Structure 1
Amino acid sequence: MYPTHPVLDAIADCSDELRRLEAESAELRRLAPELVKKFREIGVMRIVQPKRYGGFEADPRVFNEAMYAISRASSSAGWVTGVVGVHSWHIGLFDDKAQREVFGEDPDTWVSSSYGPSGTARRVTGGHVLSGRWSFSSGSDYCDWVFVGGLVQDEAGGPPEYRHFLLPRSSYEIVDVWNASGLVGTGSNDIVVTEQFVPAYRTLNVSDTMDRKVPGKEVNTGPLFNMPWFGVLLNSVVVPLVGMASAALDEALQVHRTKVAANPMMMPNDLTLARFAEASGAIDLARDLLLRNLGDLYETALAGKGPTLAQRMRGKRDHMVAVELAVSAADKAYQSGGPRSIKSSSLIQQLWRDVHAGEHHAMNLPDGAYPVYGRYLIEGEAILPNITGAF
């Protein structure tokens, strides 16, 4: 069921190194330079990048498994893998001129993001002029480009148009504000843009992106780029949480394995054993749900078709289910890891904080998603809130 790929083999080979470098990343509040160098060597961020520009253009399930495996070793690295690595796919949806600017000289160019519509833009000849400030741009210190979201006001007084803008490092400022309770080593700093011109070929209407009406498909004709936006992007902020929860469970189990090995009478009580069983099942279910839905969408894309409403609805529902399962599993690991779990040196408490920090990502909040799915169950249709990119 689980995919194989040379990058996954390379990740497995360096997992001990990733674990060692997590502490350095946390101290620096951004990924350790040695870790970044390793990722560039093995091509972690190129898994879903167009082959035309040095990417693997792999089955997207490979990317899911990469996020899962890395997050089990390093929360910071796993999170950044998701929210930076997925941009190599997003670039492939843009005009080929934009793709060439980003990847033409260096196929391992990294791109960060903050997709929320926190900026404002006005139309000018040949493009837009953009200004704004965006938060939570993970991995930005190591990225040479950024995606940001902005609203373009309608001159006739109509509703604003939500667009994604792609800017080079020379066009924005990174403001170091990242001091957080979890995901400490992700360097999720602010992006500031002041009156910058963005040419038309480096911006996409979000509604067109949701409808797969993108210029990149003219040159990237493989099934990966026929995938829906939500089907690829959502995984980048939930799969890492599943990996982190799995690592937390392993840590808690090891505490009790060590005790039992020293004294068989130290077997934990039935309630603790039950929590371990429940957490293990939650992790497997979340991982498999996400792989199943992604594989279903990929098979649809292979057939040259677009996603059905049922696929879109189920995908977002199961995304939220997977977040809840990961959080539940992390909570059970923390509850069952013993009193030493509260120490600042405990990896269990760090992983618990990291999972809860990731839960707060805008796309991981259930408030809007579940009511839409409930309406779908009753009426067989849904009003999709495309403004958020959630579906």
Structure 2
Amino acid sequence: MITEIRHVADKHANEGKLPEEILNYMYEAKLFKLFVPKELNGLMLPLPEALRVFERASWIDGSFGWLVTIGSGGGFFSATLPPEQSKLLFGHDRAVVAGSGHANGIALSVDGGYIVSGQWKYCSGSTYASLFTANCRIGAEPGEEPEVRSFAFLPEQVEIIRDWNAFGLKATESHSIRVQEAFVPSERTFDIMSTPHYDDPIFRYPFLPFAQTSFAAVSLGICRHFLEEARSFAMARQADWAIARPQRLEALISVLEEHETSLDAVAKQFYETVERTWADFERSGAMDEQQQREVGESSQRIAISTLAYAHAIFPLLGMAVLMEDNPMNRIWRDLHTVTQHTVLVP
């Protein structure tokens, strides 16, 4: 399946979306349901195990891995929505969430719910989402601090603004969404800080380290793919370069070996930190500020390191990798896109 996903992803790279056959595989493998309770047809993985899934998916293909990661993160809301709504919205095979955490909407209270209008950017998986979630400010009197609440929208209530034109992660369809005077019943609103309806510890895990570790795992997987492709590229040109450019070949192999070893070391430290703090969290039900800071720094170290490795290797690959249809060019762009996320920037 790895070869098939990479082949199809390369073939459709300029279309800005993953083809239907890959999406069908993601649904069948429940890759959007890593944090959905088993009662709702999910897999409910512990965080350290899910991070390794994110890494492997991103090693296969950057957009594929990002969509698995973001789609899985939407499973958090299965524990915050009222249970009847969770069964309806998350229980079916093709359930997947797209949305935003920014409070860019305005909600006006009416009988039975709210009238909502707003626009949100960077909603990955927007074109195939079965559910959209976004934060809104509930209308308050002048001078009062508005309440922020989360709202769930059905696809027919949402307009997709196709504005995702980033140079990397092109197939994630991370477009903006807009709703205009949409009625949302009270039972499709929730407070992400409320007590979850399911007991799994992931639903009590702090959001910032969850996002940091998730995106660090994506960076790690994309970088592994880049290093592997660079080594394959060097081996394919070994005979020619040994005669015409022996110093370039020696330098590239030396730098590759150095950074492959370094990547293994920072990845080992990252997973050890996550697993140790996760075990403490499972036992105590809480994560102190020191542990959150430690997890955050370890995640940011992954982003910094993977970028440094790519920057050291890219100039040694010659002119061919400047072409946008070269696999390493696309992987390099994907890596720069994910590490640009604010939670990975120190």
Normalised by the size of structure 1, how large is the TM-score? 0.80
Question: Is residue 2:30 matched to residue 1:43?
Answer: yes
Whole-Å separation in 2 of the counterparts to 1:173 and 1:286: 42
What is residue 350 of structure 1 aligned with on the other side?
330
Q: Are the equivalent residues in 1 in contact too, given 2:215–2:344 (CA < 8 A)?
A: yes
Superposed, which structure 2 residues align to 1:361-372 within 5 Å?
A: 361-366=341-346
Report SS of the residue matched to 2:237. Answer: helix
Superposed, which structure 2 residues align to 1:1-391 within 5 Å?
A: 14-104=1-91, 106-155=92-141, 157-205=143-191, 208=193, 213-216=194-197, 220-260=198-238, 266=246, 268=248, 271-366=251-346
Report SS of the residue matched to 1:140. Answer: coil
Whole-Å separation in 2 of the counterparts to 1:18 and 1:354: 16
- List runs of 5+ in structure 1 lacking aligned partners: 1-13, 367-391
- Counterpart amino acid of residue 126 in structure 2: S
Report SS of the residue matched to 1:45. Answer: coil
Classify 1:253/1:294 alpha carbon distance in 2 versus 1 (closer, same or farther; 3 Å): same
Number of positions where the alignment pairs a residue of Structure 1 with one of Structure 2 = 344
Identity of aligned residues (%): 21
Classify 1:86/1:196 alpha carbon distance in 2 versus 1 (closer, same or farther; 3 Å): same
Report SS of the residue matched to 1:44. Answer: coil
Report SS of the residue matched to 2:294. Answer: helix
- Counterpart amino acid of residue 276 in structure 1: L
Q: Are the equivalent residues in 2 in contact too, given 1:178–1:188 (CA < 8 A)?
A: yes
Q: CA deviation at 1:33?
A: 0.8
Write the deviation string for residues 178-206 of structure 1: whole angstroms up to 9, x where unpaired: 32211111111111111123333433345
Q: Are the equivalent residues in 1 in contact too, given 2:28–2:93 (CA < 8 A)?
A: no
Q: CA deviation at 1:37?
A: 1.0
Q: CA deviation at 1:129?
A: 2.6
Cα-Cα RMSD: 2.4
- Counterpart amino acid of residue 108 in structure 2: R
Classify 1:285/1:214 alpha carbon distance in 2 versus 1 (closer, same or farther; 3 Å): farther
Q: Are the equivalent residues in 2 in contact too, given 1:276–1:332 (CA < 8 A)?
A: no
Whole-Å separation in 1 of the counterparts to 2:173 and 2:160: 10
- Counterpart amino acid of residue 331 in structure 2: L
Write the deviation string for residues 133-190 of structure 1: whole angstroms up to 9, x where unpaired: 1111111111110121223343262333333322111221112223221111111111
- List runs of 5+ in structure 2 lacking aligned partners: none
Classify 1:195/1:245 alpha carbon distance in 2 versus 1 (closer, same or farther; 3 Å): same
- Counterpart amino acid of residue 84 in structure 1: G
Whole-Å separation in 2 of the counterparts to 1:289 and 1:98: 40
- Counterpart amino acid of residue 337 in structure 1: L
Q: CA deviation at 1:107?
A: 3.8
